[in-house]
Structure 1
Amino acid sequence: MSQPLSDRFAIASAQKLLETFSCLEVKPVESAAEAAQLQQALILLSTQADFVNFGICADTPEQGLAALASYAKALGYTVAIAPHDLAAAIAPVYIKFNGQRQTYYLDSYTGTYRGVLVSYHSLVEESVNGTYGYLPLDLFQ
């Protein structure tokens, strides 16, 4: 079944905004209004996707897991953060969150990128499939 034109327009607008944040460096969010628009775009696409995955690159486990918890909650997922991961003596870290399983994996990371990659997956609405980021770690905090 095809989406109404207004829904397709909203999705296309959300994708266009998110594409401006899809680069190698984290693009700063310039205002509270821009942050709100970015949050709304991410939430809209998550309602159209079957599931969402995150890739988080952060300086510390605490920073990365805080980003994971806030993005997961905002996009409708529940994630249980393991206390031993918060206390992990590794830095920087990479965290991969799988929205289908609602689980994550934390490991050391040697790269220089910092931020959140959000990847949307849908079998029905293929137009929402895509990866965006790096997005600010604290966007939903």
Structure 2
Amino acid sequence: MAGSTEITALRRHLARFSCLEVPPTLSPQERQTLREELLQFNQLSDYQTLGICVESLDKAQAALEAYVAALGGQCTLTLTADHAGPFYIKFNTLNDKGYVNRYDGPSRGVLITYHASEVDEVNGTYGPFPLDLFSGN
């Protein structure tokens, strides 16, 4: 298990994405490091909630499936909407449930909220991260 100092350092590193409207362009090495950091927090959490701000349902579905698979879960949700994009998708990995709402804001990317009962320092919302961080597209 990661120590408190390591968790604090990870939180600090992930916090650089906070309050951004869109994720920054990352080098391949930065993308790999970010994936590793997110997966470390994933191992310390009980479940995650994903928030995805995106232009189209196709991109949202791809991002949702890639992130959930990377986090070790299953996503059986097929996104549908009664309007044209952009969209905000919220998905809970604990119960494989989510919803789609109209979203007119400027933000784009994926937010991850980690929920941990044993390691309180992990709890929090991080991102936005690139839509294709785990799909490599």
What is the TM-score normalised by the length of structure 1?
0.86
**Is residue 61–residue 88 contact of structure 1 (8 Å, CA) maintained in 2?**
no
| 1:71-90 → structure 2 map (5 Å cutoff) | 71-82=67-78, 85=80, 89-90=83-84
In structure 2, what is the equivalent of residue 107 of structure 1? 101
Change (3 A) 1:67 1:88: farther
1:136 equivalent to 2:137? Answer: no
Q: Where does structure 1 differ by over 6 angstroms across 4 or more consecutive aligned residues?
A: none
Question: Runs of 5+ in structure 1 lacking a partner?
Answer: none
2:34 to 16, 34, 38: 38
| 1:17-36 → structure 2 map (5 Å cutoff) | 17-36=13-32
Take 1:99 and 1:105, find their aligned partners in 2: how far apart are those partners? Answer: 12
Partner-residue secondary structure (3-state), 2:3:
helix
Q: 1:89, CA displacement in angstroms?
A: 4.9
What's the RMSD between the two structures over aligned residues? 1.8
**Is residue 57–residue 95 contact of structure 1 (8 Å, CA) maintained in 2?**
yes
Q: Counterpart amino acid of 1:52?
A: Q
- Percent same amino acid among aligned pairs? 38
Take 2:7 and 2:32, find their aligned partners in 1: how far apart are those partners? Answer: 16
Q: 1:27, CA displacement in angstroms?
A: 3.2
Change (3 A) 1:37 1:88: farther
Q: 1:76, CA displacement in angstroms?
A: 0.9
| 1:55-66 → structure 2 map (5 Å cutoff) | 55-66=51-62
Partner-residue secondary structure (3-state), 2:17:
coil
